[in-house]
Chain A
Amino acid sequence: DSGVTQTPKHLITATGQRVTLRCSPRSGDLSVYWYQQSLDQGLQFLIQYYNGEERAKGNILERFSAQQFPDLHSELNLSSLELGDSALYFCASSVHGQGLGETQYFGPGTRLLVL
């Protein structure tokens, strides 16, 4: 158990809908990362937050957005869902979020299926 929690574990929805994925980082970690894992794209970095502020963006679609709240939990919002958004979404956390070899701890993921 990494200490990172994600809810829900599974999500089934329809095209055009909007969903929210939730992540609670390890106690003491200030930075949260979101990754998408799909069969065709592999593991891709979406976005990073540090202490409530957006720190870095990766291959995140405009239909996707995220935020980190004062209690440091984070939410990833996916809207106007398409079939291709079906994937496993991971949240990870780290203490400082500045790279330099810092370990990221991953949650169990949320499996999203868009029908």
Chain B
Amino acid sequence: AQSVTQLGSHVSVSEGALVLLRCNYSSSVPPYLFWYVQYPNQGLQLLLKYTSAATLVKGINGFEAEFKKSETSFHLTKPSAHMSDAAEYFCAVSGSHMNYGGSQGNLIFGKGTKLSVKP
């Protein structure tokens, strides 16, 4: 079974500071990993995803994440936080086992990390 653990339900940083949101995964097969962001009263928006092409993945809004197999981690970073980055961030792993004769595509999400940015 696959799972995702996000360390820290709340993270607070100052504007201009480094953002680091932690995600560890568990998977018996090569994982596909995602980071989504949810702004208040909105749906989820994809920030970036890892699909085994490159271990350092760049996403939108200046975010990036590095896949580290040895540490089973996929932490999200941004060098300099902006006020507009305040939101909830979700790490997810894609089911990749076979079901119904084809592979299953549902996402398994972590509990989320709420990012606050102080002026």
Contacts and interface: CB of A to CB of B under 8 A. Distances in A.
Chain B associates with chain A: yes
Interface in A84-115: 90, 92, 94, 96-109
A45 interface: yes
A99 B95 contact: yes
Contacts of B104: 48, 55-56, 98-99
B106 A42 contact: no
B43 A106 contact: yes
Interface residues of B, number: 29
Contact of B102 (A43, A55, A101): A55
B94 A42 contact: no
B111 A42 contact: yes
Interface residues of A, number: 32
B27 to A, nearest CB: 12
A55 B103 CA distance: 9
Interface of B: 32, 34, 36, 42-46, 49-52, 90, 94-96, 99-100, 102-112
Interface of A: 2, 4, 31, 33, 35, 42-45, 48, 50, 54-56, 58, 90, 92, 94, 96-109
